[in-house]
Amino acid sequence: MNIHEYQAKQVLKGFGVPVLRGGVAFTPDEAVKVANALGGPTWVIKAQIHAGGRGKGGGVKLVKSIGDVGAEAERMLGMNLVTPQTGPDGKIVHRVYIEQGSDIQRELYLSCLVDRATSRIAFIASTEGGMDIEEVAAKTPEKILTLTVDPAAGVQQHHGRRIAFEFGLVGDEIKQCIDLVKRLYRAFEQTDASLIEINPLVVTKTGDLLCLDAKLNFDDNALYRHGEIAGLRDASEEDPTELEASKRDLNYVKLDGTIGCMVNGAGLAMATMDIIKLYGGEPANFLDVGGGADKEKVT
């Protein structure tokens, strides 16, 4: 399950992760009220959709007056925002996040995820913050550091220090990085997350580390023990068919092909799609009804 940036920051703030003050708004008037409460002199207006690359589509704007806050919020709310991750259809913006401006000195990248190859939680760090990490991996893989964490020992000081050295941090910045890594690991474990991505993690001109953007994904299979997180779900951001399938405990993913697939078992479903593509076809969906599916479940 995905959540919005402003929700992700609230979750991380609960674990002591450093984020800027901000507030969500559903109307231009609400945006102005939030900006007034935050105080100036600068604000960042961010469209809230479940997709990255918002800045490239005009979904992130820095403004320097209250009047511009209202104008930008009015422009964004209701717009169809197209980014590299939304596809050509884009997504409608129903809410915006207003955040304090900051004096950025450097932009970094830091994420925490499950490394399937080692079955461990891993940190991914790069000095190329603010960019698509897949693009960095393709063009300059030497600029990416991957650290796995032994689940028996948990995250240690040396993990934070190694990442800090990779970033080229000095003095108190190193201490902040060590603390941040520990807090992100704790948040990842205690919320049953599948991804925490901070892009960018910034170093300000005063030497503070701040999470300027945050993306959190959670394991759907663990939501039953996180009611407060399950309550953050925004159904309007999800594919209606996939949402309906999840309510019936079906694993469904919409694809762009023309051949429908209904299979009992994820492995068989993937093998079926491979065979379809091998013979020149394109699957229209991935649908795993589960190995124990009965008549009632599939009808």
Please give the Cα distance from 239 to 296 (Å, whole number). Answer: 23
Strand segments, DSSP code E, in 26-163 are 43-47, 60-63, 80-81, 91-92, 96-100, 104-115, 120-126, 144-149
Termini Cα distance of the chain: 25
DSSP 127: S
For the chain, state the CA radius of gyration: 21
- State both tokens at 280: 């020149």
Kindly report the number of other CB atoms within 10 A of residue 143's CB atom: 15
Q: Nearest CA to 181 among 124, 221, 262? A: 124
Contact 288, 266 (CB under 8 A): yes
Contact 49, 95 (CB under 8 A): no
Catalytic annotation, residues: 109, 197
- State both tokens at 76: 């964004």
Contact 108, 203 (CB under 8 A): yes
Helix/strand/coil (H/E/C) assignment for every residue in 76-107: HCCCEECCCCCCCCCEECCCEEEEECCCEEEE
Strand segments, DSSP code E, in the chain are 22-25, 43-47, 60-63, 80-81, 91-92, 96-100, 104-115, 120-126, 144-149, 193-204, 209-211, 214-218, 251-254, 285-288
